[in-house]
Amino acid sequence: MSNKTEKTVFLPLQFSDLREFQILHFVTFLLLYLGIVSGNLLIIAAVVFDHHLHRPMYFFLMNLAIQDVGFVSVLIPKSMANSLMNTRHISYAGCVTQVFLFVYFLGSDFLLLTVMAYDRYVAICSPLQYEMIMSREVCMQIIAILWLAVFLYSVLHTGGTFASPFCSNIVNQFFCEIPQLLKLACSDLYLIEIGIVMFSIFVCLACFIFIVVTYVHIFKAVRRIRSVQGRKKAFSTCLPHLTVVSIFVSTVCFAYLRPSSDNPSHLDVAITIVYCVVPPLLNPVIYSMRNKEIKSAMRKLLGF
């Protein structure tokens, strides 16, 4: 293929050339997608319809569920459609959209988990001021600022990724992943995106440090609670969030901190699927299992 040619379509990775395995991939992804969407929609409906859950913690949890539904909807349906119809393509505009929304929802998830850590810090370390600090107006402003900041961040990332012309349209991943797209760049303009990636790593590291420091203060405050019941209640509100953060950070780091290869193996693709699917699949399970109020709201919603 000649250098610096205009590409109208990209060719993502196929899971298999065999029709039987393509159908198996379609069915597997369909079941995972339905499980993720239904679980997170239950969380959203429970928070919306149960007035006992109209509090900041559950407001942020509802937004996390919305982000998770959006995140998997960006990646899974297109891959399922390609397998079902035995095709292997995504348009240039579709690839741009996929990169933008992928960055948007992934960034929103991490920032939202950071905000949720601060919410737990205020609730446990400053309970008497909680209602004033985390009022409805403040929560709405936080979400609005978060959405706007991540929108601008996604525009920056997408622009940096597609600033350079591509020498090939073969993407060694089942979706338009930024590291794989940068390998196709023909000019030095891809260095713009490298700079943005370095800035992103700095921001993510700062958020992670903030979460860690926040939980250090939370655990110190919990240890000062005299009653055993009070300590258990405090831990029960923090444990689901801490578990979700651990799963999110560990899967993303495992996927992106490994040495990259020009010819990805089945293991590389499997690891990518894990970090794309596991966090949004487990988030509603973790919160519904560890939180009595969520479980109660879901029972009422389902009529149990």
Residue 277 and residue 251: Cα distance in Å, rounded?
10
Distance CA 133, CA 43 (A): 25
Written as one letter, the residue type at 215 is Y
**Cβ atoms of residues 210 and 128 within 8 Å:** no
* pLDDT tens digit sequence for 71-80: 999 999 999 9
- Return the exposure string of 119-154: e unless at least 16 CB atoms fall within 10 Å of the residue's CB, then b: bbbbbbbeeeebeeebeeeebeebbeebbeebeebb
pLDDT tops 60 at residue 1: no
The answer to whether the beta carbons of residues 283 and 64 sit under 8 Å apart is yes
Give the model confidence (pLDDT) of 42-61 as tens digits: 999 999 998 888 899 899 99
Query: Above 60 in pLDDT, residue 6?
Result: no
How is domain 9-302 classified at the CATH fold level?
Rhopdopsin 7-helix transmembrane proteins (1.20.1070)
Please compute the mean of the pLDDT values over residues 3-24 and round it to a whole number: 76
**């090939």: which residue's tokens?**
168
pLDDT of 265 reads 62
pLDDT at 169: 87
In this predicted structure, what is the pLDDT of residue 261?
59
Identify the residue with better confidence: 195 or 29: 29
Integer Cα distance of 234 and 255 in angstroms: 32
Give 38's pLDDT tier (boundaries 50, 70, 90).
Answer: very high
What's the CA gap between 137 and 155, in Å, rounded?
27
Report which secondary-structure segment, H or E, holds 90: strand 90-91
> If you average pLDDT over every residue of the chain, what do you get?
86
CA distance 272 to 281: 14
Poorest-confidence range of 46-60, 148-162, 170-184, 282-296?
Answer: 282-296
Contact 237, 287 (CB under 8 A): no
